[in-house]
């Protein structure tokens, strides 16, 4: 069973674990990682589903992490607890948003973990002319190469381009935490990266 | 005599090649009856898609298939029509190619997806979503709808778009907007150049952002805009005499200018990391 076949059956809700799938999981660490990530997300989603709205701890964690990264600035006003019923009577719709933010932030942190040497260069103010590919990027390129080999080089070039965009935008946001324009760059850069992933995956699936 | 024989042979060869090519191509035509505000989605791996308006309440699609290694799957569920190319084993960019030409009611929403393109849409009033990797995207004479374009490397040209809700994202394709206006015009490029030529009318928000690509915006002297332009590492250039802004604009770093013209009905933001920004007077 190939990675492509495994990931195809993974998306089918009725598919149970078969010997073939288990054998593939044992021999393929990227697919095993993928399944592990999906299970973790699924478990977290179930926890979120249990409450009517996200715990304040969730928001606090996100806020602290974003502040530590320097991606948001200190606000002078105290944050109103989300559990205040009079402020937001119906906040059920925030559940998927919270989940999406958590997943996106997890991906962001994972990316940084995968390219720590580069991150260290950013911290010291030295920008590398060559943008490294994160682990996720390498995995994505592998999938593209399996499905549409002709696209691999173009996607890799695009990934390097948007990674440079993200790198510069992150540094700009970090250096200028009160600059709205820097925040705009950051959003634009993430949008670009998200699009490359979306389109690459789109063409890599049957 | 020898020349005549050579000419005759050439004619025969051309006819044979033409016959072989014609035999390899298959033409299919699909008709779908739809109601008001129908939606059409065409997903094509390889080959162009073109959509134009037609009178009547029907969608007509003509597909030219270039080999038997690709199939076309039509589908209709109520007012929603979708057609997709289905590659069979061994198909590549040549044998998997399908050319689509569609005619739709002008108020239909259209989603076109082709890796190679080109993609073309014109004279529509519904929402238009165009997506392609290297596809050249050309859309013109669109009114009122949401126009979303995504490409990796393909260049994008929008012409005569009014009251549009426009969002364009491209990694390295150049983006050209001619006479495009609406409540939101948002362009995001990594390395491609962005060129806007219009009057920024409609009291909208125009946000043109690039990483390394240059941004050139051309507007008439009567434009009613509030402008913020900022490049962290590139140069900025402005041909207009702008009034100081209502609030102080302090860029974090790099070159910038800001100010208003006329009643400042529309907001224009031109932002680049290292590209050159030029606000030109027409």
Share of chain B above pLDDT 70, in %: 89
pLDDT category, A184, cuts 50, 70, 90?
confident
Q: Which residue of A has its CA nearest to B256?
A: A181
> Is the pLDDT at A57 greater than 70, yes or no?
no
Look up the ipTM and state it. Answer: 0.76
Distance, CA of B123 to CA of B157 (rounded, Å): 15
When mean pLDDT is compared over A36-45, A92-101, B6-15, B176-185, the highest value belongs to: B176-185
Of residues A39 and A173, more confidently modeled: A173
For position A195, what pLDDT does the model report? 87
For position A40, what pLDDT does the model report? 61
Share of chain A above pLDDT 90, in %: 0
Chain segment B199-248, per-residue pLDDT in tens: 999 899 999 999 999 999 999 999 999 999 999 889 999 999 888 876 55
Q: Do B273 and A181 touch (CB under 8 A)?
A: no
| Residue A101 region by backbone torsions, left for phi larger than 0, else alpha for psi between -120 and 50, else beta | alpha
For position A24, what pLDDT does the model report? 77
> Is the pLDDT at A86 greater than 50, yes or no?
no
For position B182, what pLDDT does the model report? 93
For position B25, what pLDDT does the model report? 85
First CA to last CA across chain A, in angstroms? 15
Distance between B208 CA and the closest CA of chain A, angstroms: 10
Chain segment A4-49, per-residue pLDDT in tens: 777 767 656 555 567 777 787 778 777 777 777 667 665 555 544 4
Give the torsion through C-alpha atoms of B32, B33, B37, B39, to 10 deg: -20
Chain segment B145-193, per-residue pLDDT in tens: 899 999 999 999 999 999 999 999 999 999 999 999 999 999 999 999 9
When mean pLDDT is compared over A139-143, A200-204, B263-267, the highest value belongs to: B263-267
Distance, CA of B93 to CA of B95 (rounded, Å): 6
> Is the pLDDT at A102 greater than 70, yes or no?
no
Mutate to test the interface with B, among A131, A161, A171, A178 (most CBs of B within 10 A): A161
Please report residues of B whose CB lies closer than 8 A to that of A168.
Answer: 211, 232, 273-274
What's the whole-model pTM score?
Answer: 0.68
Chain segment B50-108, per-residue pLDDT in tens: 999 998 899 999 999 999 899 999 999 999 999 999 988 888 888 999 999 999 999 99
pLDDT category, A52, cuts 50, 70, 90?
very low
Q: Measured between CB atoms, does B134 come within 8 Å of chain A?
A: yes
For position B236, what pLDDT does the model report? 94
Q: Do A172 and B190 touch (CB under 8 A)?
A: no
> Is the pLDDT at A206 greater than 80, yes or no?
no
pLDDT category, B22, cuts 50, 70, 90?
low
Q: Do B273 and A165 touch (CB under 8 A)?
A: yes
> Max Cα separation, chain A?
58
Is the CB of residue A193 less than 8 Å from the CB of residue A165?
yes
Tokens of B205: 């928000």
For position A173, what pLDDT does the model report? 86
Of residues A132 and B249, more confidently modeled: A132
**With helix as H, strand as E and coil as C, how does chain A read?**
CCHHHHHHHHCCCCCCCCHHHHHHHHHCHHHHHHHHHHHHHHHHHHHHHHCCCCCHHHHHHHHHHHHHHCCCCCCCCCCCCCCCCCCCCCCCCHHHHHHHHHHHHHHHHHHHHHCHHHHHHHHCCCCCCCCCCCHHHHHHHHHHHHHCHHHHHHHHHHHHHHHHHHHHHHHHHHHCCCCHHHHHHHHHHHHHHHHHHHHHHHHHCC
């Amino acid at each position: 069973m190939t990675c492509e076949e495994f990931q195809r059956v993974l998306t089918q809700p009725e598919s149970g674990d078969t010997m073939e799938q288990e054998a593939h999981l044992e021999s393929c660490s990227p697919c095993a990682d993928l399944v592990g990530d999906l299970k973790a997300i699924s478990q977290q989603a179930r926890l979120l589903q249990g409450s009517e709205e996200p715990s304040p701890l969730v928001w606090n964690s996100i806020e602290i992490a974003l502040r530590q990264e320097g991606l948001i600035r200190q606000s002078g006003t105290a944050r109103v607890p989300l559990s205040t019923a009079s402020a937001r009577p119906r906040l059920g719709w925030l559940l998927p948003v919270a989940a999406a933010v958590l997943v996106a932030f997890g991906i962001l942190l994972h990316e940084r973990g995968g390219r720590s040497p580069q991150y260290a260069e950013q911290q010291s103010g030295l920008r590398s002319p060559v943008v490294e590919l994160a682990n996720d990027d390498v995995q994505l390129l592998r999938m593209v190469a399996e499905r549409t080999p002709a696209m691999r080089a173009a996607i890799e070039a695009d990934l390097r381009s948007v990674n440079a965009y993200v790198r510069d935008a992150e540094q700009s946001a970090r250096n200028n935490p009160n600059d709205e324009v820097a925040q705009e760059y950051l959003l634009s850069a993430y949008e670009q990266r998200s699009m490359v992933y979306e389109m690459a995956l789109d063409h890599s699936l049957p | 005599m020898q020349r005549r024989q050579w000419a005759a042979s050439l004619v025969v060869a051309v006819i044979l090649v033409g016959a072989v090519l014609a035999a390899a191509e298959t033409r299919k035509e699909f008709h779908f009856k739809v109601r008001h505000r129908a939606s059409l989605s065409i997903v094509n791996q390889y080959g162009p898609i073109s959509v134009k308006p037609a009178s009547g309440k029907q969608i007509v699609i003509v597909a030219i298939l270039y080999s038997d290694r690709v199939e076309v799957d039509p589908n209709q569920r109520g007012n929603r029509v979708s057609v997709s190319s289905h590659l069979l084993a061994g198909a590549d960019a040549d044998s998997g190619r399908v050319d689509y030409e569609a005619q739709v009611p002008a108020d239909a929403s259209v989603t076109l997806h082709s890796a190679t393109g080109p993609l073309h849409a014109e004279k529509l009033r519904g929402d238009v979503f165009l997506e392609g990797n290297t596809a050249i995207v050309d859309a013109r004479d669109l009114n009122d709808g949401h126009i979303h374009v995504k490409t990796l490397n393909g260049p994008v040209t929008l012409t005569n778009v009014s009251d549009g809700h426009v969002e364009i994202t491209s990694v390295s394709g150049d983006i050209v907007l001619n006479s495009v206006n609406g409540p939101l015009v948002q362009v995001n490029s990594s390395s491609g150049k962005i060129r806007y030529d219009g009057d920024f009318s409609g009291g909208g928000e125009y946000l043109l952002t690039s990483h390394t690509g240059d941004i050139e915006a051309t507007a008439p002297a009567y434009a009613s805009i509030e402008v913020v332009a900022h490049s962290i590492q590139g140069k900025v250039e402005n041909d207009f005499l702008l009034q100081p802004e209502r609030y102080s604009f302090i860029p974090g770093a790099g070159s910038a200018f800001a100010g208003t013209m006329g009643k400042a009905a529309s907001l224009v933001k031109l932002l680049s990391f290292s590209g050159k920004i030029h606000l030109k007077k027409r």
